[in-house]
Structure 1
Amino acid sequence: MSAPASIGWQAMGGHTIATEMEETSVKGMHYMDVRDDKGEMTKAALEIKFKRIAVLPPIGKQNRYPALDLTVIHAGERGARARSAMMALREG
């Protein structure tokens, strides 16, 4: 396995775990049956991503805290329905 990417503190100009996961390719899919808001059964597809990342503490705390070597797992629904649900949450 390759060495983990290093992520610095967002305020210091490094990038975040979220941006690192956006750049990561989908490693697998999981399909499930769910009920929509009308009670009808529908299929949902989850995209699974994972990546080893070394998360660095803020610059002022690096001498007191070590970098953390984490495995980040990210799952999100594939398709337009997921985007419309997120928009509904933001509006509400």
Structure 2
Amino acid sequence: MGSDDAALVEQTVRSVLRDVLGISEARAAGFAADTPLFGAVPELDSMAVAGLLTEIEDRLGIIIDDDEVDGEMLETFGNLVTFARDKALG
């Protein structure tokens, strides 16, 4: 896996968060690996999770099975990026 590919996945996840949650570009750009997501970002409620995952699937060309979705994956920005990167490039 190249660093360019990993960076593209991270950029895509930031873009999806921005678009689906309606947050500013600056706010999304400020997310670090340890930035808490689910339960900490008010816009990311249980209803938004489905849209978020669907958009990640579409943009990265991956399929996310329901049994892969858990609280740990959505706990932090880094966890979500790692999950998406592993699915897209794994």
With the shorter chain as reference, the TM-score category is: under 0.3
Q: Which has the higher helix share?
A: 2
TM-score by length of 2: 0.22
Greater RCO, 1 or 2 (C-alpha within 8 Å, sep 6+) = 2
Larger radius of gyration: 1
TM-score calculated relative to the size of structure 1: 0.22
Richer in strand (by share): 1
